[in-house]
Amino acid sequence: MIVFTAPTEHAVKLIAADMRQADAVEIMASHGHTPIDALRAGWAESSYSMIVNEDLMPIAMFGLVVNSYVTGAGTPWLLATNRAMNHKREFLIQSPKVISRMLDICPRLSNHVHVENKMTIRWLRWLGFTIGDAVPVGVNAEMFHKFYIEKVIDPCVA
């Protein structure tokens, strides 16, 4: 079973030490960050962030950077460890709830995913994100797909 807790420096260090190779490659290509630097920056910039734990062991961290409260734009992110891959089913169960919470904060979410991060691309599609064409992004102009989703607002309820 996985549980969510508030981020701590200790948890960030443990996640950085066992980060999935695909995530480490992606953050280096996009921002030139090491795993520890990416986690610390994500935590510092996020309005909402959590640690995902398995038996009190941190296995992932996610967050939401609010880009604009006026436009409702936000950047979701998640960085995971190799151990997190043992909990794919629970991630599938929990992630729609997390995305729904993020969409309550920012009704327009977008970010970029490295073209080689195939498992993440499949997961994002499953969550309902639209995956755009690959374009050069980041410090090395490597190929990334933009992904995005918008909260559907029922005009009868608004």
- Residue 124 domain-assigned (yes or no): no
The CATH number linked to 86 is 3.40.630.30
Looking at the domain assignment, is residue 103 inside a domain?
Answer: yes
pTM for the complete prediction? 0.92
What pLDDT digit, counting tens, does each position of 102-139 carry? 999 999 999 999 999 999 999 999 999 999 999 999 88
Domain count, the chain: 1
- Residue 129 belongs to a domain: no
Q: How far is CA 91 from CA 11, 21, 76, 88, 94, in A?
A: 18, 18, 15, 5, 5
End-to-end CA distance of the chain: 37
Q: Are strands 108-114 and 73-80 parallel, antiparallel or unpaired?
A: parallel
Alpha-carbon distances, residue 146 vs 18, 112, 152, 156, 157 (angstroms): 26, 4, 19, 31, 30
Mean pLDDT across the chain: 94
pLDDT above 80: residue 44: yes
Q: Give the structural domain span for 100.
A: 2-109
